[in-house]
Every structure is written in structure tokens, then in C-alpha cells.
A and B are shown apart, each in its own frame.
Chain A
């Protein structure tokens, strides 16, 4: 029996986007409401899936298969486990909030909303695909709407940023398609579940005819491994291919930044977890140390760069690099240990991986919140320069308190979500990469420094006559921040409601 739940989650945004195309551009209110209403459907459905999901079962649930490209044996095969389900939920939570946040967009509302829903389908498709070619399809689909969102509704330097974003990410994923083809060719299928069985142990000499240039299977695997790694590394982004991110974020409209930081960066990390480690265990183990070094670089340099910013949005953008560095550190720890090790190491690796997945979810919440709050202030003050702003807490007390809350989540204050995941990563990685983890503490320290710099630049300081007339957050804005804050607090106080699912999935998957 096929379960069509995932299909509805996947398709309802795009169907809504098509409906929106037939509505009149004049009636902006209707357009906005339809988009918001439509984006709630996948949210409700994914909550139902969450409730029905059985975390104790191994393998994928809610599986769905339909033929697509039968000549090469590629099918629409979808399914979720405890690793992808939190990501699906994250996407379906953030999209309505981002759409609601873009009620302040005035130009070309129709195209904006349609693109946004299109983007949601792209991201969801990546998380639920169990077919490599379909995975790649959605991977690339996600790029296009984001490009236009930056390019059409962005800031002053939007053309440069949008071009940089799309060129670097597409350039990164060039090799991905090629490698997927090689895997498909050698194993005769694109179905991920079959590939999990076949590809890692593939050593047959008979494949020589299929492989180009008479390469050995090990060489081919190494090449494919690096192609995967580069594609995902650009997306995460890992130092030193991260410089597209601050530009894209700074220029993107608020909602675009929320989704870019909240969801799209997770695609890269998800690729590492879902594809790189299971498909290339030997190579991953071999290069895990490199990955850990790059992760540490991202943690330290991301924090330092964030500390060096004067533009608030750029500061928040760099903080993403710092936080995603922790995710990669957790992934590197898992890759290093692999599946075959003695008990204590495996436990540390599991803890690090739990932390990495939870950190993805947590960063999605807090970074979306931060970008949203940056947008709120930019809508009013039309500047994001920390040396021009200041003294806003006295003028906007509610906004100030919300901002402090979000930035503390971003800082990893215990009691809020970021601490739980960073603690797990540090705990797990400390056992496996002690030096990298110890150096990562420098990054953790500077996280404090840049967060305080943001608060001091924005909220503290004497009351500024220039900003005396700014209006307080309105009800809509508070209602957007509130669910994020509730989730942040709930994970911080009682993480096991989500971590239990992740933990079981990680234990079963690796």
C-alpha cells in the first residue's frame, strides 16, 4: 500500500503556486492570504506525519514510489526517517513564517509568493527523495527561485550577490550529477535503498568495462566522493567556499534570508549525512580529519568575521558559518569513527551526530529568527549599520527583548536550544578530535563577542533622537517570532521530544 502523505506535502506548495499564478496581481491581500494558507497545508500534514511516525522502526516510513524514467531505472521514490523528518518539519514551519514575514513586500507580490512556494517544494523534495536522480532534480530546482528572489527583491548589490550565489552553488554541483551517473551506471539503479546495499561494497572486477578510462573502482569512488563533498560543502557552506553566503544573505529579502539560512544551508549538511557517509564510508573515514580541520576553520573564522562586521545582517550571516561549522564537526566525528568501532567511540560519534542534526534544526530556528528581526528593524530604520543604530531598547522594548532572546539562542545560552546541540557536538567530538574541539572553543568565545556586539550596537547606548519615532513590533511580527521562541525554549528545556527521535534514527541508520 502506498502512502500518499509525503506526496501531498511535496506537491501542495507547487499546486498553490500554480493557483496563485491565475490570481490577479491587483489583489495583493488575497495573494498573500492564499500563499500563507497554502503553506499551512504542508505544515499540518507534516505534524500529522510526525505524530504517526514510529521512531522505533528501522528504515524509511511513509514510502511512496511511482515510475519516472524507467529506461534508466529512476523512480519517484520518497520516504522519511528520523533524520529527514525534523528537516521536513523545519521547512514546513519556516515557510509559513517567512511568507507571513513577507507581507510587507509591495512589488510583484504574485511572482514573489509563487516563487516562494516553489522553493518550498524544492527543499522538501531533497529531504524526502530516496532516488539519487530525483534528489539531484530537487537539489537544482531549489536554486532557481532563490536566484530570482535575490535578484528581483534584493538590496542594492543584488545582481552581484544573486549571480555569485547561483554560479558558485551550480559550479559546486557540477560533479554531483556526473558522480550520480557513475553510481547509477555501475549499480544499475538510482534507488537509494538499493544503492546503500550495493555501492559501498562494490569491488567487482567485471565493472572495468563500464568504468571510463580503465580506472579502478577505488579511484572512481574517490572521485565521486570528492564530487559529492564539494557540492555539499559549497551549500553548507564550509570554509573556504563560504563567501557567497554573506553576500547572498545581505542582499536577499528578509524572507529569503530566513529560508536560505533556515532551510537551504541544511541541504548541504543533510547531503553529507544521507549520502556521503553511508555511500563512501572508507573515503569519509580517510578524509574525516580534513573535514574536521575545515569545520574548525569555519567555526573560528566565521565567528571572527562576524565579530568584524558593521552591518548587522552580514554579522548574522557570518554567524551561520560559525554555527554550521559545528554541524560539520559533528559529521566529521561520525565519518571518522564510521560504523565499525568499539563501544565508547561509537557512542561519542552517535552523540556528535545527534548534536549535528539537532544543531541543524536549532540553527534553522534561531537564524531564521535573527534574520527576521534584522528585517523588522531594516523595514523601519532603513539601515543596518551598527554604528548608526543604537539605543533602541528604550524606544522598542518588545523588539529589544525579543532580539535579546533570539541572540541568546544563537549564542548557545543553556536553557535555550543552541546549547543542547553544541554541548552534544563538543562532547562527542572532544573524544574523537580533541585538538579541533579545543580550538573550536575560540570560536565559541567569539560567538559571545559578536552577539554582544550586535546587542550593544542595536539596543544599548543612549537614546538616539533619530530613531525616536520608530514604531514598535506589530502583532503580526510578534506572532511570527513567538512560535520560533516557543520552539527554541522547548528544545532548550526538554530536548528529548525531538532528540529521542533523532537519536534512535542515528543509532539505526549508522
Chain B
């Protein structure tokens, strides 16, 4: 088969699975998950075919694979859509296909396939567990299957479809289509347990917060389309149009069109990849089932946001030369990215929920990538995107496995503790060895543990990119964030796995099934090895043993002049070693042997700051007060009650009243007195006259004689007077 056709086909299997599950197989759990996994598996297979074609000798390094069809008729031309495979698409396909497939397999175990139905389980609620009678005759409380099992697989299939559409697109329009369908899927999946008020709120928050970014992005899209008449990458990133966009001034603040469009597109990323100030939705997104968190945090949503800015780097950086001043969008990315990286790392330090720590770490790591692009470290950003996807998917799935084990313990012991609070855990490494080993691999990768983990190589690239580019502020901020990252990661690992179990539930936790541990192992493999393809050649000792394949492959995407400069200094290397090891050590020392389930040792050391951090700087509260309440007031009271009901309807009612009033006036002052009474008056007047004249009509001949005599006399007198 030819590779063009295969690329077109990549997104389809999950879509077909979605359709089939929704329409036909939603009553059968087994069929539904089989369909979903077959769909994801086919996409995985096709992606791998395309990936290996892409990296082969006559692959896409020189020339991208592009295929178009006409989609929208616009006047005398057509808007084309199509697919494209180049180096960036290839590496995206690689990690998306792997993580998606692993998440799908994991979901089977996570949603307790094969477990009994719970007596009190309802659709829209997390399963509560079921009672079964064991072989020994005793009644046991065990985990129960998710009541909307089939629906879950339908939704994540659609999610995977949207991500594949986004990745293989060769134009901004279908990218946007995938982008928005992912928004819907994240909404449906975060709110999967819709009966929970917190999940319901989190779903709306996710959709609306990202939509703020989306509407700006839509404007960027419209501008680009208006100016260049196309949305295809090959056209809009061509030298000719880039030159046009940089040399023409837009109506906003005298920016060039390239800068304005870059900013608009970047706002889309701020929403989707959860950068400050639109970061608030991502931590709440963990209200959904854990595989969804892994989807959102690694395989799809947030990666899509970073992918967008990497893809649009030619426009974002249009006019930038290495060593020269940053363009406006790059400046924005450098500032927002590094700020977000540090800001959310500080929040992560003070969280107790095992998933919430990871959520803030995602935001922080995305900040790293955005900042890297901002300082022009294109390859480093792409590299970190790939490695992060693997280890973050791993960490989320691992945390799901931990929670699962804890829930097992909770049901077994009947103890009422929060199975997600890290302070209720401890000593789990003995109970859940596979989860422990894999989680450790992911955690070390996240902290950037030197040499063996993937995270070290990609993070080191970012730090050295910032340092060598001369952006010392960005470098320092990111280094502090990296230190905090290592610290909170080790805090998490120590709290969960080390020490002694702090609750009965933790003491009775249980390793999860193979459907969950297998994906963990696969992802752990990539979390370690994915970094080895990008070891810089100048790295002391190790450089050059393996070729720096990633740099030459993905670097081929850039036009020659945008490529970062390659001076290698040992400062960033020493820094990344120091922050990673220092943070890990500090985290281990503080948290290795916690006994108390209530207080965090940080609370007394940080004092009031801890409370601010634990409450995420009160940003949610601020938004509630500054935006959400006013918006509700504006819509309900101002626009609806005052403007529509009072002013506009009041006006129409006024006209109606005026009409009624005028009618009344006519009735009272004209109709009644003039027409009615006037008419009556004529009638009664005539009658009265008749009655008065009646006396003359007596019927007696003598009277008439007398009358005629009288008239004759009067007539004669008149005649006489007139005549003479």
C-alpha cells in the first residue's frame, strides 16, 4: 500500500470503533472494549508503518509526504485539506500511537473488567464496589465494574481519532477540527462521572477555559486564511508568505501580521496546554477517570497545544535570527513559559493528592517546552514533548494503579480514608512492586535523573538552549523550577512507596492486574530509552557513542537560518545535574519516613506561604470573583432583565399602552360623546320633535281646518310683506 493512503487511514479506525460502539455494541462490554482496542491497535500499526517509512533513508527528511483534496468551495477557488508526513509528524505519530494504545489497554483493568456489578452502582457515579461470597464462604467487598464501561471506550476512541486527525493534518483547518473535537472529548470524559458535582464543574471549566484560547486562535486562522488564501502548511510557511507576513503591518499595536497571528495562535496554546493564566482547568481535569488524565496530560490535549506552537514556529519566529532580538510571540512564549514552569512547580510542592501533584507538574513541564520554543530551542522543545508524553502517561497510569491498589485496601478494610491522599499511603513498594519500579522510572525521568532517564536529556537540552542563547533569566527560572520538580517528585515517591504504611488501607493495598501493569512496563521502557536518541554530540564522555539522531531528524524541519547555535558550555550540564540530584536528595531526606497522616513537614517550615501554595495562590477564587460572577450578572441581570425585558419590551409595551390609551381617549372623548351620544342625540331629538309635533296630528277635521286657515293667513301675510 502506498504511504499516502496509509496516512489518510490512520485516524479512521478509532472513529469507526466509536461509531460502532455507540450505535451497536454498547450493551456488550467485551465487544466494546475489543473494538476500541482493535481500533487503537490498527492506528498504532499504521502509524508505525508511516513512522518507519519516514525515518528510512528515502523518507521525509528531504521532502514531506503531502496529499490534498478539495473541501470547501470559496468563490472561484477551493479550500484544500489533506495530510502530511514530515519529521515532526513522524515523531508525534510515534509517541501518540504508543501512549494511546497503552492507555486503552490499561483502561480495561482500570474500569474493573471482569469484576461483578455493584449493587449500588449507578451510571454517572464512580463504582462503589460489590459484595461477593468468596470460596471460603465469607462475604468480601471487592471493586466493581464501571457502569458505563462501553461508553468510556467510545469516548476515548473519539478522543484518539481527534488527536490523530490533528497530527496528520497538513493544514490549520483540520488541525483545528481535531483540536475542537478533543475539547469536546475532554469535556465528556472529565465529566464522565457527571453525577458528581465536582466532575460536572471541572468539565465545564475545562471546555470553557480552553475555548477562550480557541476563539482567539480562530481569529488567527481567519487572518492567515484572508492574507494568504490558504491554510496549508506548505503554503503559509513558504518563504514568500513568511516574508509577506513579516513585512506587512497589522492594525493592532503596529505589530507585523506574523507577530499578530503568532500571538493569536499562541493564545490557543495557552488555553489548550494550560499555561498561565488559563492553566486553571488542568488540575481539575483529574476529576475524570485516571486513563483520561493520562490521555489529556500526555497523549493528546496538552501535547496538541505544544505541537501547535512547534508546528507554527516558522511564523512565530519569522524575522528572528539566532543571537538577535526575539520576536514578539517568542518573547511572550519565553516569559509565559518560564513563569508557568516555576509558578506551578511551587504549587505542586504543597499538594497532598497524588494526581494533583502530577497535574501541576504537567503544567510546569509544558512551561519548559513553551519557554524552550520562546528562546528558539526548537528541537529541545520537540524532544521534551516526546519524552514528557511517555513519562507523564506512565506517571498518571501509575498513580491510577496506586489509587486502585489503595481502593482495594479501602474496600477490604472498610476504613474511611481518601485513597488519593499521599499521606494515607506509605510503604507501598512491597505491596505493588511493578507499580513501584515503573513509577520510579517515570518519576526519575520527570526529575531529570542524570544519564539514564529520558527526561534528563530533553531537559538538559532546554537548559542548555536557554543558557547558550544568552537568556540567563529564563535559564535561572527554569533551573529553579527543575530543582523544585525533582524535590516534589521525590516527595511523592517517598510518601507513596517508602516508609511504613500509614493506614490500614495502605497495608492491605494490592498489586493491580496485568492489563494495568503491562502498559506501565512498556511506558517505563520508553521513559528510559527515548532520551538516548538525542544525546548531544558535544556531551562529555557519552556524546557521539550513539548518533544524535533526533536533532538531525527534527532539525531538518527548520530553515537553515533559524537553527540554534551549537556552543556547548558545561554550566547548564552541571546545573541540571545539581538541581536533579539535589532536589531528589532533599525530597528523600524530608519525606522518607513520615508517620503522621495529617501534617506535612513543609507546613511548619513554610508557614503562611504553604497555605497560599496549597490553595494555588487563590487564583480560582479570584477568577470566580473577577470574571465568572460578573459574567453571570451581565447575562442574567443586565442583558436579559434590564435590556431585553425592561428597555426593549418596555418600549413595545409602551407602544401597546399608547395604542390602548389613544383608543380609550377616542372612545371617551370622541366615540362616546360625538358618535354614540351624537347619534343618540339626533335620534332622541327627532323623536322629541316628533312627539312635540304630534299634537298637531290629532285626526280631527276641525283642527286641520283651523290649521289650514292659520297657514293661509300666515301665507297671505308673508306674501304681502315680500311683495310689497
Contact = CB atoms under 8 A, between A and B. Distances in A.
B649 A243 contact: yes
Contacts of A446: 631, 635
Contacts of A438: 219
Contacts of B125: 462
Contacts, number: 156
A35 interface: no
A169 interface: no
- A interface, over-half SS: helix
A305 B635 contact: yes
A304 B71 contact: no
B169 to A, nearest CB: 12
Contacts of A393: 123-124, 194
A401 B154 CA distance: 12
Interface in B40-70: 70
B652 A394 contact: no
Nearest to A442: B215
A496 B222 CA distance: 20
B200 A461 contact: yes
B194 A460 contact: yes
Interface in B200-218: 200, 203-204, 207-208, 211-212, 215-216, 218
B215 A441 contact: yes
A463 interface: yes
Contacts of B74: 347, 350-351, 354, 424, 503
A445 to B, nearest CB: 5
A409 to B, nearest CB: 11
B75 A347 contact: yes
Contacts of B699: none
Contact of A413 (B184, B196, B225, B644): B184
Contacts of A354: 73-74
B639 interface: yes
- B interface, over-half SS: helix
Interface string A339-360: 0000010111011001000000
A241 B632 CA distance: 23
A452 B640 contact: no
A391 B197 CA distance: 11
A423 B217 CA distance: 12
A430 B648 contact: no
Interface in A439-491: 441, 444-446, 448-449, 452, 456, 459-463
B635 A304 contact: yes
Given A304-B634, A394-B124, A448 B211 contact: yes
Contacts of B223: 430
A28 interface: no
The range of chain B's interface size is 35 or more
A168 interface: yes
A305 B648 CA distance: 13
Interface in B672-721: none
A448 B208 contact: yes
B436 to A, nearest CB: 37
Contact of A456 (B77, B200, B632): B200
B195, B251, B631, B632 interface centre (most CB from chain A within 10 Å)? B195
A408 interface: yes
A444 B215 contact: yes
A499 B208 contact: no
B407 to A, nearest CB: 21
B72 A452 contact: no
Interface string B152-195: 00000000000000000000010011011100100110010011
B665 interface: no
Nearest to B639: A304
Given A243-B649, A456-B200, A461-B197, A308 B640 contact: yes
Interface of A: 164, 167-168, 240-244, 246, 301, 304-309, 344, 346-348, 350-351, 354, 391, 393-394, 397, 401, 404, 408, 413-415, 419-420, 423-424, 426-427, 430-431, 434, 437-438, 441, 444-446, 448-449, 452, 456, 459-463, 495-496, 499-500, 503-504, 507
